[in-house]
């Protein structure tokens, strides 16, 4: 009986370890909005510079990623 419990514990432990290993995979964080690396692909999406601070913005931005001013 104790062998069964031990085997069950090993199986459950392995499943928990496997699932927790998958759980640690998180999607990549969004790029930092402060300064853009020249190699950063977000530069390709630059639409217009911010009218207040001239930071590069994208059409999808509802507010400046640099100074936080909302776009009309
Ligand atoms: Zn700005």
Per run of 10 residues, the mean pLDDT along the chain (length 72 residues) is: 66 64 73 64 68 91 93 84
Query: What stretches of 27-66 adopt beta strand conformation (E)?
Result: 46-49, 56-58
- pLDDT at position 44 is 55
N-terminal to C-terminal alpha carbon distance within the chain: 71
pTM (2 d.p.): 0.35
What's the 57 CA to ligand 1 centre distance in angstroms? 8
- pLDDT at position 72 is 79
- pLDDT at position 43 is 53
- pLDDT at position 28 is 84
- How far apart (Å, rounded) are the C-alpha atoms in residues 18 and 25? 12
What's the 60 CA to ligand 1 centre distance in angstroms? 14
Give start and end residues of each alpha helix (H) in 1-72.
2-23
- pLDDT at position 7 is 66
What's the 35 CA to ligand 1 centre distance in angstroms? 12
């Amino acid at each position: 009986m104790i062998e069964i419990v031990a085997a069950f514990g090993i199986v459950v432990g392995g499943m928990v370890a496997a699932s927790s290993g998958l759980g640690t995979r998180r999607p990549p964080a969004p790029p930092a909005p402060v300064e853009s690396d020249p190699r950063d692909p977000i530069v390709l999406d630059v639409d217009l510079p911010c009218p207040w601070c001239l930071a590069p913005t994208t059409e999808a931005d509802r507010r400046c990623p640099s100074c936080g001013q909302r776009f009309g």
